[in-house]
Amino acid sequence: MYLKHFELQEMPFSLTTDTHFYVDGDSHRPTLISTLTALEMGEGYVKITGEVGSGKTLICRKLIEQMPKKWWPVVLTSPKINPIQLIHAIALELKIRFEPGASPHFISKLVAKRLMQLKLDGRRVVLLVDEAQLLQPKTLETLRLLANLETAKEKLLQVVLVGQPELDIRLSRPEHRQLAQRIAFSSELQPLPRSAQGIRSYVVTRLVQAGHCNGELFSTMALRHIAKESNGVPRVINVLCHKALIAAMGDGSRSVKRQHALLAAKDSQGVIRSTWFQLQTAA
Ligand X SMILES: Nc1ncnc2c1ncn2[C@@H]1O[C@H](COP(=O)(O)OP(=O)(O)OP(=O)(O)O)[C@@H](O)[C@H]1O
Comparing CA positions, the residue from 67, 26, 17, 34 lying closest to residue 187 is 34
Q: Rule CB under 6 A: is residue 21 a binding residue for ligand X?
A: yes
Q: Where in 226-245 is the site for ligand X (CB under 6 A)?
A: 234-235, 238
- The per-residue DSSP string of 122-146 comes to T-EEEEEETTGGG--HHHHHHHHHH
Binding span for ligand X by CB under 6 A among 49-57, 63-71, 150-158, 265-273: 49-57
Comparing CA positions, the residue from 121, 132, 33, 117 lying closest to residue 69 is 121
Q: Rule CB under 6 A: is residue 47 a binding residue for ligand X?
A: no
Q: Where in 70-129 is the site for ligand X (CB under 6 A)?
A: none
Q: Which does 50 bind (CB under 5 to 8 A by kind): Mg ion, ligand X, none?
A: ligand X
Comparing CA positions, the residue from 212, 210, 211, 247 lying closest to residue 226 is 247
Comparing CA positions, the residue from 230, 266, 232 lying closest to residue 246 is 266
Q: At what angle do helices 234-250 and 196-209 cross, to 10 degrees?
A: 70
CB of 169 to Mg ion, least distance (A): 18
Task: Kindly determine how many residues on this chain lie close enough to bind ligand X according to the rule CB under 6 A.
Answer: 19
Q: Which does 190 bind (CB under 5 to 8 A by kind): ligand X, Mg ion, none?
A: none
Binding span for ligand X by CB under 6 A among 46-54, 109-117, 179-187, 211-219: 46-54
CB of 183 to Mg ion, least distance (A): 20
Q: How far apart (Å, rounded) are the C-alpha atoms in residues 234 and 260?
A: 19
Q: Which does 52 bind (CB under 5 to 8 A by kind): Mg ion, ligand X, none?
A: ligand X
Cβ distance to Mg ion smaller for residue 12 or 53: 53
Q: Which does 108 bind (CB under 5 to 8 A by kind): Mg ion, ligand X, none?
A: none
231 touches 275 (CB < 8 A): yes
Nearest residue relative to ligand X (C-beta): 55
Binding residue (CB under 6 A) for ligand X from 2, 3, 5, 17? 17
Q: How far apart (Å, rounded) are the C-alpha atoms in residues 164 and 50?
A: 5
CB of 238 to ligand X, least distance (A): 5
Q: Which helix (H) or strand (E) holds 161?
A: strand 158-163
Q: In what order do the strands lie in the sheet with 124-129?
A: 71-76, 124-129, 158-163, 45-50, 185-189
Task: Considering only the C-alpha atoms of the chain, give the largest distance between any 2 of them, rounded to a whole number of Å.
Answer: 68
CB of 244 to ligand X, least distance (A): 16
Binding residue (CB under 6 A) for ligand X from 22, 45, 72, 218? 22
Q: Rule CB under 6 A: is residue 52 a binding residue for ligand X?
A: yes
Q: Rule CB under 5 A: is residue 57 a binding residue for Mg ion?
A: yes
Q: How many C-beta atoms surround the C-beta of residue 14 within 10 A? A: 13
CB of 164 to ligand X, least distance (A): 5
Q: How far apart (Å, rounded) are the C-alpha atoms in residues 43 and 128?
A: 13
Task: Kindly determine how many residues on this chain lie close enough to bind Mg ion according to the rule CB under 5 A.
Answer: 2
Q: Rule CB under 6 A: is residue 23 a binding residue for ligand X?
A: yes
38 touches 184 (CB < 8 A): yes
38 touches 46 (CB < 8 A): yes
Residues at the contact surface with Mg ion, assessed by CB under 5 A: 56-57
Residues at the contact surface with ligand X, assessed by CB under 6 A: 15, 17, 21-23, 25, 28, 50, 52-58, 164, 234-235, 238
